[in-house]
Amino acid sequence: MSNFAMSTDINELSNEVIPLIPEDGRRVSNEEIQDALEKAAGEPVSDMTLKQIKARIIELGIAEAAKGPGGGLKAIGVETPSKTSSKKAEKKMATAKSTNSDKSLESWIWDAACSIRGAKDAPKYKDYILPLVFTKRLCDVFDDELDRIADEVGSRKKAFTLVDADPKLVRFYLPLRPEDPNQPVWSCIRKLTEQIGEGVTSHMRAIASSNPLLKGIIDRIDFNATTHGQRDLDDDRLSNLIEAISTKRLGLKDVEADIIGKSYEYLIRKFAEGGGQSAGEFYTPGEVGEIMARVLLPEPGMEIYDPTCGSGSLIIKCELAMQELQKATGVNNYAPLKLFGQEYVPETWAMANMNMIIHDMEGQIEIGDTFKNPKFRAEKSGKLRTFDRVVANPMWNQDWFTETDYDADELSRFPAGAGFPGKSSADWGWIQHMLASLDEQGRAAVVLDTGAASRGSGNAGTNKEKTVRQWFVDHDLIESVLYLPENLFYNTPAPGIVLFLNRDKPKNRQGQIFLVNASQIFEKGDPKNYIPEAGINRITATLIEWKEEEKLSRIVDLEELKTNDYNISPSRYIHTGDAETYRPIGEIVAELEAIEAEAKETDKALREILEQIGI
């Protein structure tokens, strides 16, 4: 055996032979195989090595032994030469694949979603639409990867065989097989004509079964599901949806990851616009997420965490902001962020995972109740894992956590002396969780109801929420508070705030909090207001630079905050117009409800004491 044959892997040698095997049933002889190998090697190849290579190719199912003089290899099951030339096959493949129209990707993806029953009902079907668009991207990317391999080995048929033998050749292995290997893989779904819902579900489950990363993500929806004997999405409408999605290729050469990612995010936002009260459970307005990400300034390689990640938009915004900053400074090679999140709602958890993959970002999204069972723990201690940056938009004013939940915590999230919020709102409980999830130099940004900045301030007696807020102010952990415009969020017309935490405030900012009242920086939209690009830039620059501006921003020292009974709402300190600024009615109502709830708790505790002493 030659030194070449001994030192080179049989698999690598086999790859030299595979492109030589004709598709039309003709043979490639032993002599031709040996000549090609020796030409590539520059030295003789032994008969034993030749036999090993042929055996390996036959074992892979790529070819079979050719009979007759000269031996060699031939395509499996093909006895006569094909009359179809390679050029015709290429033309057939090109026409079979769907082409991109001039329509923008965002409008196309929304039109596809509306193909079921129009824009009004599209959000109802998001759990069907999002996995299908996601799978279309998987199929088209898989096609591109097959074409790349086919260029090396001579045909898509051989490429399929190689990928079947070694699924690691592609990122996501798809077990779907069109009758004609030159047809797009998506055609397996597109050509379904009977029992379409059952067929789509079967294909989705097969893909998930072949890819552990996709289990529970694309296979959780039954496209054949019924309610009271009626199909939730009948085959006619499902067929219309599939056909609409089929009109555009979503492959690597057609759409870059950031573009398809933005379009997928756009689709999620459109679902949020029509989703009513439930929309806030999975989506934060893009401009709010962008401001948060740009102010936090994540650096390459940092670990970013969202304990209530919804669709994953906030951690994705952090990665995009980091990429943009690196490119702006001329840096081309940098480590991506490490993204982590936890989500309670299974369908939303699946949405977040699809969103991450379609953005071509890698992360870890866990499912479960973060407040009661946070999944990210330190390996040795079992305590909370800490991160460089934390972002979140938890559901506002959650009222289902009791004192027992806080008191029983074993993860050091609620430090002694800080107290914990009452049952009427868990807002500051989430802030405590986020603080405990930060490393020593960590920073966080959290979206909250405006009442979280002021409830309890100015009232006689104690207030549990104010007690926690006071602890954060006294420990100088709050860096900035941003007051947002009203009617931005999809589940409420009320404004919100963004609270920025910093465990390691610069010396020149210690003992102070920067307040920004951006309530007037918006444009009217339909159905929601939005912050224009110029407004995003203005707010971001103001927060980063701590730049004071009349009717917009102020630096407030801790003494002034104490004088105002730890009210940290920017609207308390910054008036945006000549007329007197009034607090939003929703904020006042929420505060009254909190006061009433606390009064009931106090009355209950007093009655228990009186009963114990016999009065």
The predicted pLDDT at position 3 comes to 40
Give the DSSP H or E segment for 537: helix 533-545
**What sections of 125-283 are H helices per DSSP?**
126-153, 156-165, 187-190, 196-210, 235-245, 257-273
Q: In this structure, which amino acid lies at residue 165?
A: A
Helices (H) and strands (E) in the chain, counts: 22, 14
Locate 335 and state its tokens: 């480590």
- How many residues are there in the chain? 615
What is the C-alpha end-to-end distance of the chain, expressed in Å?
A: 103
The predicted pLDDT at position 419 comes to 83
The predicted pLDDT at position 590 comes to 63
Distances (CA, A) of 567 to 205, 499, 501, 526, 587: 53, 13, 16, 33, 13
Give the DSSP H or E segment for 63: strand 63-65
pLDDT tens-digit series, residues 250-293 = 998 888 887 888 888 888 888 887 765 555 566 789 999 999 99
**What sections of 76-125 are H helices per DSSP?**
86-96, 105-113
- Could you give the CA distance from residue 356 to residue 350 in angstroms, rounded to a whole number? 10
The predicted pLDDT at position 595 comes to 67
DSSP β-bridge partners for residue 387: 438
Q: Which residues contact 97 (CB under 8 A, 6 or more apart)?
A: 143, 184, 249
- Could you give the CA distance from residue 425 to residue 421 in angstroms, rounded to a whole number? 7
- Could you give the CA distance from residue 81 to residue 74 in angstroms, rounded to a whole number? 11
The predicted pLDDT at position 83 comes to 38
DSSP β-bridge partners for residue 449: 496
Give the DSSP H or E segment for 587: helix 585-612
The list of the chain residues with pLDDT below 70 reads: 1-9, 69, 77-103, 275-282, 460-461, 578-591, 593-595, 597-599
Domains annotated for the chain, with CATH where assigned, are 3-75 (1.10.10.2390), 103-255 (1.20.1260.30), 276-503+521-546 (3.40.50.150)
Locate 434 and state its tokens: 């986020």
- Could you give the CA distance from residue 374 to residue 366 in angstroms, rounded to a whole number? 9
b/e burial code for range 557-579 (CB count within 10 A of at least 16 → b):
ebeebeebebbbbbbbbbebeee
The predicted pLDDT at position 16 comes to 81
